[in-house]
Structure 1
Amino acid sequence: MKVLANFSAFVGKTFAVWVILFAVLGFFFPDTFKQIAPWIVTLLAVIMFGMGLTISVDDFREVVKRPFDVAIGVASQFVIMPLLAVLLTMIVPMPPEVAAGVILVGCCPGGTSSNVMTYLSKGDVALSVACTSVTTLAAPLVTPFLVWLFASQYLPVDAMAMFISIVKVVLVPLALGFALQKLLPNLVRAAVPALPLVSVIGIVLIVSAVVGASKGAIAQSGLMIFAVVVLHNGLGYLLGFFAARACGLSLSKRKAIAIEVGMQNSGLGAALANAYFSPVAAVPSAIFSVWHNISGALLANWFASRVDGAEKTVASKA
């Protein structure tokens, strides 16, 4: 079990490398990997079940203890990223399916990778986890509404069907994982070290399936989509940071909210796009999944060397 835990930790730390590798494999061997496409929703459900195994009551106590901080993070997530997506689709000429996909990934909740990146950045991990948990639980209502509001000009949006899908693929697996954690705590505790491996396998298979099913669109518009994703992600970090600063939050909290806003649950975006739009609409989510793990690691490394006066004082006393 220790060997598995160590291997899982290694895979988790090198997540970006595996995502890039399988994205490349999906592009060059599309016939193999596009066969995974029908399993995208199942894979995402498995990932969310794993998240449910790790969620604790303490994560939600942070919401009660620090409602203002969490509210800033949640509001920034569901305001900044959707509006940035809309702005980018207005500025950059792109096919309707791609535009809908860009907006969809912008309307998704925060991704769980943000918690790891916040830890590496020496940011407020408890705040990051609380924001991820709240945006994930709010996603069944907020994501379909925002997609309907902003993306229906490009493609028909069935908000109710999307709501039901998110409940099935996000809330139900989360609830089952949380319940199992309470019913069989020893078993879950033993399984937790292997969860990074499960999550990485799920994400890389989703990305490779989307890339394989959309090879033609990527070959034609891949650079444009990549540029849009880089802008979307980078501006999300920047505006999230300044939104937190404008609200008077400390540097560690600004780091957490910046990373939380910039990193999306792109697996959910890919699953919804594939189910309700087309494989082409899932490409922005697939590319986002690759890029935000690279940019998040780079940003976390840069953030880690920056502390404010209060943090320096604490560090010197320790």
Structure 2
Amino acid sequence: MDIAALDAVQIELAPGSQVILPMLLAVLMFAVALNVHVADFAMVKQRPVRFLGAAAAQILGLPLATLGLLYVLNPPPSIALGMIVVACCPGGNVSNFFTHLSRGDTALSVSLTATSSLAAALLTPISILFWTSLYAPADALVDAIEVSPIPFVLQMTVLLAVPLAVGMGIAHRYPRLAHWLRPVFLAAGLFGLAVMVVGGVASNWALFTATAGTVLVIAMIHNAVAFGVGTLSARALQYDVAGRRSVTFEVGIQNTGLGLVILLGQFEGVGGAAAITALWAVWHLFSGGMLAGFYRGLDAVRAQKSARTAP
């Protein structure tokens, strides 16, 4: 079945979803903020040029690479919109786990996640509108949905900034409370999002399952490009091995939960966009785990070679 059919699909949500979705967005951002501390930004002072370069790789490099990929793959407009939304989202905390697992620079990873999460309050809505305007099919789709730029940016900024500020305040003043609250709010937000997505997809289940294979391939290619942008940027910035792994995971692992909420709440749940974002959310966990395993294996091989050549 042609994936272009997804352009015409709109995920139908339950009554009251226009109230529930902003609440879910606030809950997810609050959960993220509970894990952000002032100390996480220490890297900005220690290595400002390299750090800002790594942050730029995620905030600017990935959307730019995504734009280039769109012109190569020429996917349906709704798929393109989903790819752009994913690329404009901040990094996810899962990147910190994969960085630690692969023996990367965890402190750098945490700092980059905190920075992109903080910047997301303003940059994510602006970036989505900017990069979609540079790809005509996605731009036409956004116009058809009738997304008003100024209200969209203002609403998204408030919904992202307020819970972010409150969460960081609690993390700073009451770290033990933040440590206890975070998994509760994160689980509640993800569960609510999952219920809404599954319920909405059920009405178009046959179409989504028929096109899932093709959409997954696009998500896999996009994710591979994201990892590539991170690796190449880290090399250009002359990071050591641990630093390169951190930047690679930070650019390759995105907060797709945030992307799904934005698509459902602000872009009327366009089928193709929601499909690729949801598959991205699943796939980057597998790809991140495989990449971390590859790095660990590479370390083992290098250790064996060093042992053989040691006097």
Query: Which category describes the TM-score, using the shorter chain as reference length?
Result: 0.7 to 0.9
On the 8 A contact 1:230/1:291 being kept in 2, the answer is yes
Offset of residue 197 of structure 1: 5.5
Q: Name the structure 2 match of 1:128.
A: 109
Offset of residue 114 of structure 1: 0.9
Offset of residue 184 of structure 1: 3.6
1:206 correspondence with 2:193: yes
On the 8 A contact 1:36/1:205 being kept in 2, the answer is no
Offset of residue 301 of structure 1: 2.0
Offset of residue 307 of structure 1: 4.5
1:272 correspondence with 2:253: no
Q: Name the structure 1 match of 2:24.
A: 43
Which is higher, the Rg of structure 1 or of structure 2? 2
Q: Distance in 2 between matches of 1:34 and 1:88?
A: 35
CA-based RMSD: 2.8
Residue 111 to residue 185, structure 1, CA distance change in 2 (3 Å): closer
Q: Name the structure 1 match of 2:236.
A: 246
Q: Distance in 2 between matches of 1:125 and 1:61?
A: 13
Q: Name the structure 2 match of 1:227.
A: 217
Deviates further, 264-273 or 89-98: 89-98
2:97 aligned residue (112, 116, 123): 116
On the 8 A contact 1:244/1:254 being kept in 2, the answer is yes
Q: Name the structure 2 match of 1:285.
A: 277
Offset of residue 176 of structure 1: 0.7
Q: Name the structure 2 match of 1:159.
A: 149
Residue 231 to residue 208, structure 1, CA distance change in 2 (3 Å): farther
Q: Name the structure 2 match of 1:6.
A: none
Tell me how many residue pairs correspond in the alignment.
279
Structure 2 residue identity aligned to 1:58: A
Q: Name the structure 1 match of 2:250.
A: 260
Structure 2 residue identity aligned to 1:137: L
Offset of residue 122 of structure 1: 0.9
1:81-112 deviation line (CA, Å, top 9, x unaligned)? 21232233323343322221211111111112
1:102 correspondence with 2:105: no
On the 8 A contact 1:114/1:259 being kept in 2, the answer is yes
Q: Counterpart of 1:123 in 2: which secondary structure?
A: coil
Q: Give TM-score, length-normalised by structure 2.
A: 0.79
Q: Counterpart of 1:55 in 2: which secondary structure?
A: coil
On the 8 A contact 2:125/2:157 being kept in 1, the answer is no
Q: Distance in 2 between matches of 1:57 and 1:269?
A: 25
Residue 79 to residue 285, structure 1, CA distance change in 2 (3 Å): same
Offset of residue 123 of structure 1: 0.7
Q: Counterpart of 1:100 in 2: which secondary structure?
A: helix
Residue 185 to residue 81, structure 1, CA distance change in 2 (3 Å): closer
Offset of residue 188 of structure 1: 3.3
Q: Distance in 1 between matches of 2:16 and 2:294?
A: 36
Structure 2 residue identity aligned to 1:298: M
**For structure 2, which runs of at least 5 residues remain unmatched after alignment?**
1-10, 307-311
Structure 2 residue identity aligned to 1:251: V
Structure 1 residue identity aligned to 2:278: A
Q: Distance in 2 between matches of 1:68 and 1:305?
A: 31
Offset of residue 262 of structure 1: 0.7
Q: Distance in 2 between matches of 1:204 and 1:90?
A: 35
1:214-241 deviation line (CA, Å, top 9, x unaligned)? 3525234322221111111112112211
Offset of residue 255 of structure 1: 0.3
2:227 aligned residue (215, 237, 255): 237
Deviates further, 258-267 or 134-143: 134-143
Q: Distance in 2 between matches of 1:252 and 1:146?
A: 29
Offset of residue 35 of structure 1: 7.2
On the 8 A contact 1:34/1:208 being kept in 2, the answer is no
1:84 aligned residue (61, 65, 75): 65
On the 8 A contact 2:27/2:163 being kept in 1, the answer is yes
Q: Counterpart of 1:149 in 2: which secondary structure?
A: helix
Q: Give TM-score, length-normalised by structure 1.
A: 0.77
Deviates further, 104-113 or 163-172: 163-172
Residue 251 to residue 150, structure 1, CA distance change in 2 (3 Å): same
Q: Distance in 1 between matches of 2:62 and 2:260?
A: 16
